[in-house]
Structure 1
């Protein structure tokens, strides 16, 4: 047998090459196939490919020439659906014409094999029918002669079981394929009735089938008992006329186990799919190839508050929001026509309260080996809250965009203000620099006049002594002038120190021995210490040396120790303790006394310039300011704990930029 083809794409041709044996493949033109003189008697199948401009018309021509040969139309998925639809309404379109999609290339070999077998069956049957039509009425004694007349090579080699029944329904002959299907020998079968070949449970059904079958071809499928697996046999019954009388009935037996088992497997798969879909938390559904709903899981009935008995009259239109109806139907129609996945967002009415909630519906098409869509599997998921959240997010984004515009405008305003502030800072820096220069110059220039005043007072005092003037009021006045000059000189000195601190940017650090610094300060304050009869305890062994400016450490010691001496309580002996302990990032230097104490209600002014702790004791009010300024410049800090009438503790935190030097 030959495979004839016309208009096939090269990639499709690759999948229909015969595997060997007696089958050959040959390309012919459309003109040759249409020619009345072109013979098809050796052809097992004629394939009309994708390049043929009018495949249905060519198939009709071939069918009119030979109604036994199988005709296979192969086309792309889109044209396949159109051709298949057109064949349903096309006249002169017999059962020999079939259409498949080139998407299912892997299954083409099986389709070709099946269709070629069908061609052979039809031709064998036609040949047998022509032989039987010329026979006379057979009698039981002529079994052997009858067999020799009609069982020729075609009958013996037909790939379908053939059994010949006389008008009384007894078996006259059967071919080897039939013997194989019924698993009986010729001696066991000849002369029996057809129903006697099958189990008891099928006999009455077959007897009725043979008796009542009309002249037209009738079919019956039976399950045949087998030790290995289930086997299904299709019985086709056709009456053969001899003149105007019905003389013979031909029984064709076909093994349709593969088709039946495949169908059952599909049904079982569908049942499993339903079980899976029932377990899903969202709505799930299926539809046939035409788009008609075939299944809805219980989630649908729970959502719509309907009953499964209503499924026969199911219509999604009744639940869809009217604004979403046309869009949904349009997308679904396009998916059905093009065979592409379906996806749409729409609103579906909830049964319990009539609320329309946003849903995302998706479906995928499932195809057979020919590329035809067998059914659709879809899900419908509630996205209402997500949709609302997206809308809210969009509003927030719009608000954020508006806020960004406002922020941009504010930033521009801030930049403009920063420029003004920078200009003001520069002006302030210049003023501060001028002020520092003024203070420095004034303190420097005032030293000479103060020294002159002090000298003149001393000269005046000596002259008065020489002249023997001993007036108490004059002596008190001179003493007060000396005291004022001393305070003035100290103030000028402190102002000079403040200017120096203001100008210092970097500090020369060196290992500073705290005991040595204390001893230097002690010598400077020895007169005041002895006058106050103060008891001083020094405990700095834990951090004997620190890295700092020696001059600044000495200034800290001097100012805090002199303050403790000034603001002592007259009713008790002054006790001062100076200690040092290492902290995580600092060396903590403490000055503790049992003096008058300080009210901390206005603590913010304590370290201000010219702020005095007690007014009854003379002082410039710059000591604590100088200490704080030293620490601020070096990254340190100062804290105070005090109780009026009990004493004070000043805690000096010196930044440990470097560890103790050992």
Structure 2
């Protein structure tokens, strides 16, 4: 900014250059005092007197400076401050608490200079004091916040330890349950097979004259089939649980089209019976980062479900497609079947033994297996469905 012309400048008030030094000392924005080498106060300004609530005659030549300090401050003054002052002739930015006349305390920051006589002997100590009440409040608040953060960190560490222990316990329980389910399904398989064989022989050798017998026989056979399917599914679940999640180094990349063609071929009899069609659009993503066994299993479950839950009176049309989204592969299986009410059943979709069309035979294991297989590969499953129109499963895998 340019300097204004002289005729625009106000005249200088010479009184401003004639300040009273005594007034400057008494009314300075900081505390001043002077004391003898033994601490006896010989001079003190009005600012400090007002801070402390004392009269001048109460302090000068009657008290030592160290008497204004707390017990701890007095000990520090005598053992640290005085030796430092004698050694260096000055001490800077030392924090003390002064005791006011009413018993309260005033936090201050002290600077001091030792003046010596012509013989080098200590003559007087000049002390400057700054009120740091607000600064002390801020520091105390920081200390409280730090303490709170440390306590929260300790609480978090304890919570993490507890979660670790709980996870270890859950892992052990899951392993025990896996062993139990595997043993139970293995031990039940042979008795069920024996029952099926005995019943088949009974049908072959024994007539059933009762007209309702045929229906009961079919019900018994369906129950046996259902039990065997459940046992097989439980065994498959346990085997899946025991599979190790592959590391990046062990990650398998499998060609998509051959696996899809294999699954389609296995399901062709059901497809032809329903006069349906599988439509493939896989050129955009020739390979997927998942094991061949997992891909085969999840495709078989999804495609067989598309046929199993076809809409009555409408030939199933199942589209299997793959594309990239932000560089990550997405495999989609879309059908025109019965669909599901996701608002009602969405949260239970991938749980064990959950079935939403009880009139259709099934075990309720297929979607659970699909979800677990995809999660093991590091991906996730997205589902969209409309009752009476069809369902889309999006298998989103990592890059």
- Aligned mate of 1:432, from 145, 165, 174: 174
**C-alpha distance after superposition, 1:139-197 (max 9, x if no partner):** xxxxxxxxxxxxxxxxxxxxxxxxxxxxxxxxxxxxxxxxxxxxxxxxxxxxxxxxxxx
**CA distance in structure 1 between the aligned counterparts of 2:219 and 2:365, rounded to whole angstroms:** 22
2:212 maps to: 473
Q: CA deviation at 1:649?
A: 0.7
Q: Which residue of 2 aligns with 1:504?
A: 243
The Cα of 1:520 is off from its aligned counterpart by 2.4
Q: Report the secondary structure of 1:427's partner residue.
A: helix
Match of 1:617 in 2: 360
Distance in 2, Cα, partners of 1:645 & 1:528 = 21
2:379 counterpart of 1:642? no
- Aligned-residue RMSD, C-alpha: 3.3
Structure ranking higher on relative contact order (CA contacts 8 Å, 6+ apart): 2
Alignment match, 1:597:
339
Aligned pairs for 1:239-318 within 5 A: 308-311=13-16, 313-315=18-20
Provide the residue aligned with 2:266 in structure 1: 524
TM-score, length-normalised on structure 1?
A: 0.41
**Contact kept? 1:457, 1:478, Cα under 8 Å:** no
Is the 1:317–1:325 Cα contact (8 Å) retained in structure 2? no
Say if 2:383 and 2:391, in contact at 8 Å, map to a contact too.
yes
Deviations 1:58-103 (A, max 9, x none): xxxxxxxxxxxxxxxxxxxxxxxxxxxxxxxxxxxxxxxxxxxxxx
Q: Deviations over 1:413-464 (max 9, x none)?
A: 4434443433333222221111010011111111111111111121112113
SS in structure 2 of the partner of residue 577 of structure 1: strand
The residue that corresponds to 1:56 in the other structure is none
Q: Secondary structure at the match of 1:560?
A: helix
The answer to whether residue 273 in structure 2 is matched with residue 568 in structure 1 is no
Q: Aligned pair 1:552/2:257, yes or no?
A: no
Name the SS of the counterpart of 1:327 in structure 2: strand
User: What residue is the counterpart of 2:225 in the other structure?
Assistant: 486
Q: Quick one: which of 234, 241, 258 aligns to 1:495?
A: 234
Cα separation, partners in 2 of 1:393 and 1:494, compared to 1, 3 Å:
farther
Query: Unpaired segments of 5 or more residues in structure 2?
Result: 35-42, 44-129
Correspondences of 1:39-58 after superposition (within 5 Å): none
Q: TM-score, normalised by structure 2?
A: 0.66
Structure having the higher Rg: 1
Whether the 8 Å CA contact 2:25–2:32 is kept in 1: the answer is no
Partners in 1 of 2:304 and 2:213 — Cα distance? Answer: 31
Kept in 1, the 8 Å contact 2:385–2:392? The answer is yes
The answer to whether structure 1 residue 537 and structure 2 residue 279 are counterparts is yes
Structure 1, unaligned runs of 5 or more: 1-275, 280-297, 331-386, 657-662
Alignment-derived partner of residue 151 in structure 1? none
- Work out the CA distance in 1 between the residues paired with 2:318 and 2:324: 20
The number of aligned residues is 298
Aligned 8 A contact 1:641 1:649 in 2: yes
Deviation at 1:512, TM superposition (A): 2.7
Distance 1:615 1:498 in 2: 21
